[in-house]
Amino acid sequence: MNVASSPGDIGASPPKRAHNSTWKDVAIANGSVVSIALFFIVVCVVFSLITNSFLTTPNLLNIVRQSAPLLIVAAAMTFVITTSGIDLSVGSVLALTATLSAVLLQAGLPWPLVVIAMLALGAAVGALQGFFIAYERIPAFIVTLAGLSVIRGVALLITGGYSIPVEPTSFFVNIGRAWFLGVPVPALLALVVLVIAYLAFNQTPFGRYVTGIGANAEAVRRAGVDTRFIMLFVYILSGMAASVAGIILAARLGSGSSNAGQGFELDVIAAVVLGGTSLFGGRGTILGTVLGALTVAVIGNGLILAHMSPFLTPIVTGTIILVAIWLNFRLFKGATRSR
């Protein structure tokens, strides 16, 4: 703004070195999203051909209803992983909020209060873990691994291992079971969360700093940004997202079980990584995460419809993760100079 006169040319390079980008360049630049989109389409086409019931409206709505918790937590996990962090405790937070909401409803608390209390609990758990990660500099893997163990333990302790029923007449169950405008409510909740996550990730300074911290945290700090608070905040987001998932699950199943969400954190991380977000940080995409989560959900659903063993699901999912990432590394490399 104020450099009025500065002749010469810094960074001179011959003009027209960069040509206008074609669709192919765009595809390579967004290689991770393109490759998971291809996988998603292939999986959908295969199941449409080998089963009659896959490509029907009720089944598709059922898939989005069942995958709502995964979509919501994966959106938040995209922020965490993009800062080059990880949150292993989301499955345990889901179990804790599912059981506690059932317990509180049984104790006679009105449902809106229960929802608010659970969101606050998720945020508090996230803030506590985020404090150790961002301010005390303990690796996120260790902090959230401890969280995974402790939080699940608390849920088991509260219930004694039993699942707690939710009164089916309570309005609370509508969060998981009701339909609105022909769409399941959990799917609508997921849609709202995803739109907010997309805007926050791509269009706000917060999203920019999340990406920047993953790429070069010290550079962002030197630019005058409070990087520690941003890092703390992404764990608050993942904690709250896990509590929303816990509420939806308890409402849909009509009970809160302390064994809910075993291995859920791995599904979430798989969906995020499948979508093309780098575990090393600095590169994340909400769109890819949505496709990754839906691919995981479609595989589970399609294998059951095809009358194949549901135990094939983890095998197929794991194979696709490896192949998708491998394709991403091989086919679409060349978008960057290094790495």
Output the smallest distance, CB 336 to another protein, in A: 5
Output the smallest distance, CB 137 to another protein, in A: 16
Whichever of 48 and 202 has its CB closer to another protein, that residue is 202
Closest to 242 measured CA to CA, from 130, 93, 128: 93
Cα distance between residue 21 and residue 41, in whole Å: 25
Angle between helices 31-50 and 286-305 (to 10 degrees): 20
What is the three-class DSSP state of 310? Answer: coil
- Alpha-carbon radius of gyration of the chain: 22
Whichever of 52 and 336 has its CB closer to another protein, that residue is 336
Whichever of 101 and 285 has its CB closer to another protein, that residue is 285
CA-to-CA separations, 64 to 42, 110, 140, in angstroms, rounded: 18, 28, 30
Output the smallest distance, CB 285 to another protein, in A: 11
Query: At which residue do the structure tokens 């909401």 appear?
Result: 101
Output the smallest distance, CB 133 to another protein, in A: 19
Cα distance between residue 283 and residue 325, in whole Å: 14
Output the smallest distance, CB 112 to another protein, in A: 23
Closest to 74 measured CA to CA, from 59, 63, 85, 90: 90
Whichever of 7 and 58 has its CB closer to another protein, that residue is 7
Query: How many C-beta atoms lie closer than 10 Å to residue 149's C-beta?
Result: 13
Residue 301 tokens read as 């659903």
Output the smallest distance, CB 217 to another protein, in A: 9
Cα distance between residue 237 and residue 224, in whole Å: 23
Interacting residues with another protein (CB under 8 A): 1-13, 15-18, 199, 203-205, 208, 211-212, 214-216, 218-226, 282-283, 336-338
Output the smallest distance, CB 40 to another protein, in A: 24
Residue 54 and residue 48 in contact, taking contact as beta carbons nearer than 8 Å? yes
Whichever of 70 and 225 has its CB closer to another protein, that residue is 225
Whichever of 11 and 310 has its CB closer to another protein, that residue is 11
DSSP string, 102-152: HHHHHTT--HHHHHHHHHHHHHHHHHHHHIIIIIS---HHHHHHHHHHHHH
Output the smallest distance, CB 277 to another protein, in A: 11
Whichever of 167 and 226 has its CB closer to another protein, that residue is 226
Residue 70 and residue 249 in contact, taking contact as beta carbons nearer than 8 Å? no
Whichever of 14 and 310 has its CB closer to another protein, that residue is 14
